[in-house]
């Protein structure tokens, strides 16, 4: 059985579920999951967990993400991205200054409240929002708090045909809808807008410059080259690390509580540079939440 993390470059036109389905066929492994959904139109880093690594997938999902893309001011769409139908249109005055946009973008940095787009997988009363949208039904969408770590313009403004386009970069917490960020920015500037392009350049410590496409992974597998399979330890890079003694490792393997000189709520426990367990704090002790690599488990 294969065990490890794959830095997959998801291509446009497929869902994250499609990518997992194709990888199951390529690797001939059933136990595969992804760490963080990407919309079909979005390309970029999709962390994949194989075998035992699926047990740490939730910690990959919890980590922050970095995106680069393009925002277009001048019209909005039903899906808040380029794949939707045009809704509102308002010609952008070419007197709009880059400084105004930069100031507005800076106002989003920190903790903000977002309302997920109707075309999203957020569930309300057991149904996904996009199911309501496709049926032409409206429903109250739950708001959520997310964190924007960095949000900045990375290109000059391009004015043409009543529109204004520019590239951007955003670093944000899990659960952030970048489409909605683009729409909310436009509203702050007084224009309908949408996210016209997006790629995820980093997630769970994995970066786009080192990501591999499905076909590249398949080519390596044909040559018995498993270099695309990263150690399971990559899945917990976002957690604080503690190193256990031999006796502590043994205790953890039996599911027992141990004491640590640490104040973190959740930690990745290592022994001789191998991930042993995920431990959670219980008063003055640490209890194994998941034991991953121990002969007693």
Q: How far apart are CA 64 and CA 77, in angstroms?
A: 27
Chain-centroid distance, C-alpha 242: 25
Residue 297: is its pLDDT beyond 70? Answer: no
Tell me the per-residue pLDDT of 20-43, one tens digit each, with 9 for 90 and over: 999 999 999 999 999 878 888 889
pLDDT at position 137 = 80
Counting residues of the chain whose pLDDT is more than 70, the rounded percentage is: 98
Catalytic residues, which ones? 39
pLDDT at position 182 = 97
Residue 279: is its pLDDT beyond 50? Answer: yes
Tell me the per-residue pLDDT of 91-118, one tens digit each, with 9 for 90 and over: 999 899 999 999 999 999 999 999 877 7
Q: How far apart are CA 134 and CA 19, in angstroms?
A: 24
Could you say which DSSP state residue 93 is in? P
Q: Domains (ranges, CATH) in the chain?
A: 4-63+204-235 (3.30.2350.10), 65-203 (3.30.2350.10), 239-291 (2.30.130.10)
Q: How far apart are CA 202 and CA 179, in angstroms?
A: 17
Chain-centroid distance, C-alpha 128: 19
Chain-centroid distance, C-alpha 289: 23
Tell me the per-residue pLDDT of 169-223, one tens digit each, with 9 for 90 and over: 999 998 899 999 999 999 999 999 999 999 999 998 899 999 999 999 999 999 9
**What is the mean predicted confidence (pLDDT) over 53-82?**
91
Q: How far apart are CA 46 and CA 69, in angstroms?
A: 16
Contact 244, 293 (CB under 8 A): no
Q: How far apart are CA 48 and CA 44, in angstroms?
A: 12
Mean pLDDT of the chain: 91
Contact 254, 296 (CB under 8 A): yes
pLDDT at position 71 = 98
pLDDT at position 294 = 54
pLDDT at position 40 = 87
pLDDT at position 296 = 42
Tell me the DSSP string of 159-198.
Answer: EETTEEEEEEEEEE-TT--HHHHHHHHHHHHTS-EEEEEE
């Amino acid at each position: 059985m294969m065990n490890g993390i794959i830095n997959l470059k998801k291509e446009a036109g497929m869902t994250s579920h499609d990518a997992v389905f194709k990888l199951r066929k390529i690797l001939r492994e059933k136990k595969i999951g992804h760490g963080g959904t990407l919309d079909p139109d979005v390309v970029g880093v999709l962390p994949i967990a194989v075998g035992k690594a699926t047990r740490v997938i939730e910690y990959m999902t919890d980590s922050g993400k970095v995106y680069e893309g393009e925002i277009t001011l001048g019209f909005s769409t039903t899906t808040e991205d380029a794949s939707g139908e045009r809704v509102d249109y308002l010609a952008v005055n070419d007197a709009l200054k880059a400084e105004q946009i930069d100031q507005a973008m800076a106002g989003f940095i920190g903790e903000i409240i977002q309302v997920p787009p109707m075309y999203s997988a957020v569930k309300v009363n057991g149904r996904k929002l996009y199911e309501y949208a496709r049926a032409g039904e409206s429903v109250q969408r739950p708001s959520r708090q997310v964190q924007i770590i960095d949000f900045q313009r990375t290109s000059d403004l391009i004015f043409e045909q009543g529109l204004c386009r520019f590239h951007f970069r955003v670093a944000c917490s899990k659960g952030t809808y970048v489409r909605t960020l683009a729409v909310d920015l436009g509203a702050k500037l007084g224009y309908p807008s949408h996210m016209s392009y997006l790629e995820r350049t980093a997630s769970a410590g994995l970066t786009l410059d080192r990501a591999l496409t499905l076909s590249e992974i398949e080519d390596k597998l044909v040559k018995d080259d498993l270099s695309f399979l990263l150690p399971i330890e990559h899945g917990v890079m976002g957690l604080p690390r503690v190193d256990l003694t031999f006796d502590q490792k043994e205790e953890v393997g039996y599911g027992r509580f141990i004491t640590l000189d640490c104040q973190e709520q959740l930690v990745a426990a290592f022994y001789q540079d191998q991930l042993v367990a995920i431990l959670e704090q219980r008063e003055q002790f640490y209890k194994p939440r998941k034991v991953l690599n121990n002969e007693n488990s």
